[in-house]
Structure 1
Amino acid sequence: MSEFIVIQVGQCGNQIGSAMWPQILQEYNVPITPTTIQETPTIKNQSDYRFSSFFNVSKAKQDIQFNCLQDLIDNKVKARAICIDMEDSVVARFKTGKLKGLFDDKCLVTNYPGSGNNWAEGFCEHGPQYQEVILNCLRHSVERCDSLHGFLTMFSTGGGTGSGLGTFVLNMLADFYPKIERFSTPVYSTGTEDVITSPYNNLLATQKLLEHATCVFPVENRCLLNIVNTKYRKTFMGKGGPHLTMFSATDDMNRIVVDMLLHLTSGSRFPGRLNFDMNEINTNMVPFPEMKFISSGFNHITTSGGITAKSTSSRQKEEMFLAACHRSNQLIQVDPLGPKSVLLSSTLIGRGDYIITDLQSHIEKIQAKAKFTPWSKKSMKLALCNVAPNGQKAALFSLFNTTALSGLFVHLKGHFDSLFRKKAHLHHYTKMNNFDMNYFYESIEAVETVLQKYDELEKMKPLNVPRLKPQIR
């Protein structure tokens, strides 16, 4: 059984976490609100459901079926989460909200007044200052695991705490737990937010992700906002006009990231006919150490008849496949099957009413349409999970490692250069203790190296070696 520790850093990371844990409980059919009739927890073998993947459950209580949130609290079940923020406003919700009994107070780290939208303050100031506190939280969480497989980190790269302290924690994980997988979900800003220094923060954080993360599943705010707007128009505009009270961009954007994480970890939490674990993603999706950024996509709008139908039709599965591969449903701005994309590896994860022949037909379509390097056409992973997301009979989740991801690095470097060439706002960084200008130059070099590697892979041609013929004398 694989166990994971979730590390939520900064306002963005903790907002995603606050949306994630209720969704996890919902997938296990554990309601958050108390039931009208309190039922005594019944004994049921949950080995197939792997509830312990994200929760600390004592061995004596691992066979209990939890009927509501109060059952979890009464049985001292704790979310395997470490919540860190240099402002206590978001983390305070885990102490006072509906889930307050689900989080361990020993794993909540806060401070005031924050990191000032400055990567250097988070990485060079707050990181060393809180290193021992965070390390104690890590030890406390790791010691309660029986089979720790990986860390899941979530933070924004545009601010100070998420980008700076988040990557400092990632650095700590590489130093103190080098053999444990480090999966990261960074949220990249669009470049138009009110954080003027976000281009610096984005690039500095990216260099640390390239250095210390095992796999990176990036998310861009501009893509999330486009998805939310599209979903809003299709869901509400056709029902008597817009319903603005039903629309919250930030909450919906967080839910999309949560849905991605639930798809990504579904094989670790539920059984499957062709199941997979997170370690297989790293093995199958990362061909080179520098090529660890992976694009994810899925259908964000439930297909018609998906809830009431007894089974999913071939047409609906085709819609899910096209949606999962379409550029408008990627959480990062890439077109995985577009003319400028060369696939290095890919994964399709079918959940619910899926069989192996469905995925094989999808793979054949990808192989017929997409471009590959001479060695990567067979680098395609298939997985089946028996449990579909709530309210759906089936779902398809895609992962692509593609050279089109170079667009993200070009975008980041372009915004960075526009500030750096004028030396604007640099004094905010250089005045921090232990900050060195080499951090900037190392970040530029790391991004340029990745871009060069992507360019080489795009231009790679098959090597044709003629058959050797015996020389006749």
Structure 2
Amino acid sequence: MPSREIINLQVGQAGNQVGESFWQDVLAEHGLDLTGIYQGSDPVQLQRIGVYFAEVNNGSQAKYVPRSLQLDLEAGVCERVRSGPMGALFSPETYLHGEAGAGNNWAKGFYTEGAELIDPILEVLRKQAENCDVLQGFQIIHSIGGGTGSGLGCLLLSKMREEFPDRMLATFSILPSPKVSETVVEPYNAMLSMHQLVDNGDLTVCIDNEALYDISVRALKIQSPTFPVLNGLISKVMCGVSTSLRFPGQLNGDLRKLGMNLIPFPRLHFLMPSYAPISDPKSQSFQGTSVPELVQALFDRRNLLVACDPRYGRYLTAATIFRGNISSREAEVAVQDLQRRNSNQFVEWIPDNVSVTLVSVPPVGQKQAAVALANSTSIQALFQRTHETFSAMYKRRAFLHWYTGEGMDLMEFSEAESNSQDLIAEYQQYQEARAGDEDEYSEEEQQEEAYAEEGSQ
């Protein structure tokens, strides 16, 4: 059976830094060195390696080249990756960059600088797609607070939606936080990006800077965490999410199945990731990782990579992915037990809404680990936070000349704001819905059907 391929795109400075960390972990799990030559001894490592890698035979040894594009609007980041330890891993034609940079401006990334670079990017993307046997979709790693990751990332999403309408578009989107802010216009960039992600993404895994800092300080005991530490946390989650795609396992063998199990309504595709165990390396040997403990940790807000509290919402769906030598019965019983004890936190009108995936390959250096992706209505707190900081500036029309100067219309800001309000209202509506409220649904169902029809057209 051929591997169902995924093409990875890392956009902007944050996207490339996280991407570098992700590829280091993936190489280690598949037994490859930094040039893509196989050094491992376990046949499972090569069984589905084709999901992320293309095999190239030059001479006697097979080399595995990641199916990945490194994109930025200035040369610095791409040059750093190219001259770094992994420079020889990626194909030279997959480094694409502009010269001017986006200057933290969404409009530059989407309309001016990004638009100049989009044709060469699509050309390389088509070439990568044509070399695939059964392309299942794309994953984009980007930050939505800056200019390149948000602007160019959203432009790419909309173009890919036109070009590959039937493929899955998954994004790992790093959301800005007022506590960890680099620029004052982050709320504008984030709001405009959310507007595009709602309409063009199929699966958005939200990663929140605030939660990453919190985990690093509280669990890893690192008082002033650096970017490599934060990126390492993100890549752990990314590797966990993609485990069932990269190794033989039970359930969720590709992106579409993952989406099918997690997304009940097309617009509500924003997922909260969590990882377990997260602990200080010094105290690792003193902690147990029994399956019930892993499950408990996955649904603990302190292990969430999003700064919101699931106790104030309800879980629509969740997917748990266990790694290591874990029996399926043990995992399923632990998940059912947690659901039974916290039944008021799970919507009762979706039965069996927590799926369990088992993969026998643990992360490098660990015996057992688990990742969860949760679709919870409490994520509206995240959108509410962005909405409040956005509204405070937009009321005064502050900094807007930077955006209108690039040819943007003010209407786009208003549209993005109302789309965000609609999304928050939709989450709230399904949070309050109860299994017996049949009459209320007729109108909403019609609305959902209309969305679905629009999507299929």
| TM-score, normalising length: structure 1 | 0.85
* Residue of structure 1 equivalent to 2:70: 83
Distance 2:434 2:279 in 1: 41
Distance 1:394 1:290 in 2: 34
Of 338, 341, 349 in structure 2, the residue corresponding to residue 366 of structure 1 is: 338
Is 1:118–2:102 an aligned residue pair?
no
Q: Report how many residues are paired.
A: 433
- For residue 450 of structure 1, give the secondary structure of its aligned residue in structure 2: helix
One-letter code aligned to 2:184: I
Of 18, 24, 30 in structure 2, the residue corresponding to residue 22 of structure 1 is: 24
Q: How does 1:253-402 map to 2 (within 5 A)?
A: 253-274=230-251, 276-301=253-278, 316-336=290-310, 338=311, 340-368=312-340, 369-370=342-343, 371-402=345-376
Moved more, 199-208 or 393-402: 393-402
Distance 1:216 1:41 in 2: 34
Shift, 1:76, TM fit: 4.7
Distance 1:366 1:168 in 2: 41
Of 90, 95, 103 in structure 2, the residue corresponding to residue 103 of structure 1 is: 90
CA contact (8 A) 2:219 2:279 kept: no
Shift, 1:177, TM fit: 0.6
Distance 1:451 1:282 in 2: 21
* Residue of structure 2 equivalent to 1:468: none
One-letter code aligned to 2:7: I
Output one character per residue of 1:404-439: Cα deviation in whole Å (capped at 9) or x when no partner. Answer: 011011011001001001110011111113x21121
Is 1:171–2:172 an aligned residue pair?
no
Is 1:443–2:416 an aligned residue pair?
yes
Output one character per residue of 1:421-466: Cα deviation in whole Å (capped at 9) or x when no partner. Answer: 1110011111113x2112111111111111111111122123279x
CA contact (8 A) 2:106 2:189 kept: yes
Shift, 1:143, TM fit: 1.6
Distance 1:13 1:19 in 2: 10
The Cα RMSD (Å) is: 2.8
Output one character per residue of 1:215-258: Cα deviation in whole Å (capped at 9) or x when no partner. Answer: 0001110000011112332xx7xxxxxxx8xx742111001111
* Residue of structure 2 equivalent to 1:142: 129
* Residue of structure 1 equivalent to 2:449: none
Shift, 1:84, TM fit: 0.7
* Residue of structure 2 equivalent to 1:67: none
* Residue of structure 2 equivalent to 1:162: 149
Shift, 1:19, TM fit: 1.1
Residues 377 and 335 of structure 1: CA distance in aligned 2, closer, same or farther (over 3 Å): farther
Output one character per residue of 1:71-90: Cα deviation in whole Å (capped at 9) or x when no partner. Answer: 9xx64532111111012222
Q: How does 1:208-227 map to 2 (within 5 A)?
A: 208-227=196-215
Distance 1:228 1:45 in 2: 35
Give the unaligned 5+ runs of structure 1: 65-70, 237-243, 466-473
Distance 2:269 2:314 in 1: 15
- For residue 57 of structure 1, give the secondary structure of its aligned residue in structure 2: strand
One-letter code aligned to 1:126: E
Is 1:55–2:53 an aligned residue pair?
yes
Distance 1:279 1:463 in 2: 30
Residues 44 and 348 of structure 1: CA distance in aligned 2, closer, same or farther (over 3 Å): closer
Is 1:203–2:191 an aligned residue pair?
yes
Distance 2:33 2:243 in 1: 19
Is 1:414–2:388 an aligned residue pair?
yes
Output one character per residue of 1:51-104: Cα deviation in whole Å (capped at 9) or x when no partner. Answer: 11111114x79xx9xxxxxx9xx6453211111101222211332222222111
Is 1:454–2:427 an aligned residue pair?
yes
- For residue 423 of structure 1, give the secondary structure of its aligned residue in structure 2: coil
* Residue of structure 2 equivalent to 1:187: 174
Shift, 1:191, TM fit: 2.2
Distance 1:194 1:21 in 2: 26
Residues 286 and 273 of structure 1: CA distance in aligned 2, closer, same or farther (over 3 Å): closer
Distance 1:44 1:454 in 2: 45
CA contact (8 A) 1:15 1:254 kept: yes
Give the unaligned 5+ runs of structure 2: 439-457
Structure with a larger share of its residues in helix = 2
Output one character per residue of 1:277-304: Cα deviation in whole Å (capped at 9) or x when no partner. Answer: 2221110100001110011101253599
Distance 2:361 2:125 in 1: 31
Residues 41 and 281 of structure 1: CA distance in aligned 2, closer, same or farther (over 3 Å): closer
Moved more, 139-148 or 289-298: 139-148
State the percentage of identical aligned residues.
Answer: 26
- For residue 446 of structure 1, give the secondary structure of its aligned residue in structure 2: helix
CA contact (8 A) 2:31 2:40 kept: no
Residues 41 and 432 of structure 1: CA distance in aligned 2, closer, same or farther (over 3 Å): closer
Shift, 1:363, TM fit: 2.1
